[in-house]
Amino acid sequence: MSRLLSRSLLAALLAPALLAAQSVDSTGARPIALKDAVSLAQQNALGAVQARGQVRSAESGVRAARAALFPSLNLTLGQVNQSGDRFDSQGRLVPYLAPQPWSYSTGISSTVNLFDGGRRLNEVRRSRSDVGAAEANEVTQQFNVALQVKTQYYSILAARESEAAARAQLDQAREQLKASIARTRAGVATLSDSLRSVVAVGNAQLALITAQNNLRVASAALTRLVGSETPVTALPSDTLDLALAPIDSAELAGMINQSPTVRQAQAQETSALASVRSARTPYLPTVDLTYSRSGNGFDKYYGIGSQSLAYTNNFAIRLAYPLFNNYQREDVLNRAKVQADVAEATVRDTRLAAQQTFVQQLGALRTAQQRIALQQVSVAAAQEDVRVQQQRYTLGASTLLDLLTSQSTLDAARSALIQARQDFRVARAQLESLVGRELQ
């Protein structure tokens, strides 16, 4: 029996040291402030880069649509060499020797559309709407990226808080282990007390390892989001709670209709309506005005040298109206109307979805606030209960099981407080992403 007791005590003494050797954190990540992380991600993240590219493409589309209102201009230069064989009057193949084997030509032409039923003007309006949609999408992507960064950043903060809680749990478990070993040696406690203490130390150490692993995983995700070649992590100073200041829900509700996603859907609807108007223009005739001036001759300097070219001027007005184009006009118009109907429904659904998300996240925010206040009291009460149970166990007035139960309650209260803080931070970030502005 004494040999078994000695082996158990040796295992109890070695277990914390062995587990501690496995919990060394070696991430070596560079701390970065939250605002800097958001700024870097909005510059480097794939979604942000794509959104900026869409804005540039849409702006280029506006310039192209406006340029279509101006006349086209073409300049041509050419030269032709005449040589080879010819048949004479008797059908014999003889070499052809032209007096001027080289001939030269030049020309300039311009065409302007006088009337196209308003298609080009509608294209300008549509392209402007595309710019508005792209700009709204850029804002949406910026806040989506900010939301992703904040989520990972807050996960790092939660992991740090969990790590601190696990260390406190480990310290308490080690103190319990020392006390149980001493009581077992003194013969006032059973061997099961020491073994339960070993399990408590192992659980605390496992919680510490888990928290450190979560820290490394969240730091790696943050590093990817900000586009950093070296690992980054959250600043320890940012573990402070966000201010639990009341949020004006009525003011936020008024911002829903001007949120980036709603404005993007509205701009897309405007673009779809412009496409419908453009699809109607083929039912009207088109009128084009064309002018060209071309010259031909044998001056190798294209008329600038000693010889001149013979010039011809052409002026034409063309009216065209397709009587039947194999149902192409009708098909394009029907497709445009379908897209307009979808865009209208999208605006309505986007607005309602924003309202739904607002109600959901505002409720989550307020619930998290209440949970934080409640769990802070729960942690304080659990700490006091552990202190009392520790004293009672030392005096022999309670069992180790009572003390471990109190410790488990304290651990659960700490975890619940950390989760409540995490939920509050994420809900706040969700609201910021929804309305497209930072909440002070």
Instruction: Reduce the secondary structure of 324-344 to three states and give it as a string.
Output: CCCCHHHHHHHHHHHHHHHHH
pLDDT at residue 434 in the model = 87
Chain region(s) in the chain for CATH 1.20.1600.10: 2-70+118-282+327-435
CATH 1.20.1600.10 fits 2-70+118-282+327-435, yes or no: yes
pLDDT at residue 435 in the model = 85
Best CATH choice for the domain 71-115+286-320 from the list 3.30.310, 3.10.260, 2.20.200, 1.10.1220:
2.20.200
Q: Which of 58, 65, 62, 57 is nearest to 120 (CA)?
A: 65
- Interval 336-395: pLDDT, tens: 999 999 999 999 999 999 999 888 988 998 899 899 999 999 999 999 988 888 888 777
Dist CA 167 CA 164 (whole Å):
5
Q: pTM of the predicted model, to two decimals?
A: 0.74
Q: Which of 363, 434, 435, 432 is nearest to 34 (CA)?
A: 432
pLDDT at residue 287 in the model = 94
Dist CA 58 CA 100 (whole Å):
53
The residues of the chain scoring below 70 in pLDDT are 1-27, 188-190, 237-249, 440
| Residues belonging to the chain | 440
pLDDT at residue 397 in the model = 75
| Ordered DSSP codes for 350-405 | HHHHHHHHHHHHHHHHHHHHHHHHHHHHHHHHHHHHHHHHHHHHHHTSS-HHHHHH
Q: Which of 272, 274, 273, 267 is nearest to 120 (CA)?
A: 274
Host H or E run for residue 322: none
pLDDT at residue 14 in the model = 42
**Burial (0-12, 13-18, 19+ Cβ within 10 Å), 42:** buried
Chain region(s) in the chain for CATH 2.20.200: 71-115+286-320
Q: Which of 292, 290, 307, 313 is nearest to 104 (CA)?
A: 307
What backbone phi and psi angles, to 5 degrees, belong to 109? -140, 155
pLDDT at residue 384 in the model = 92
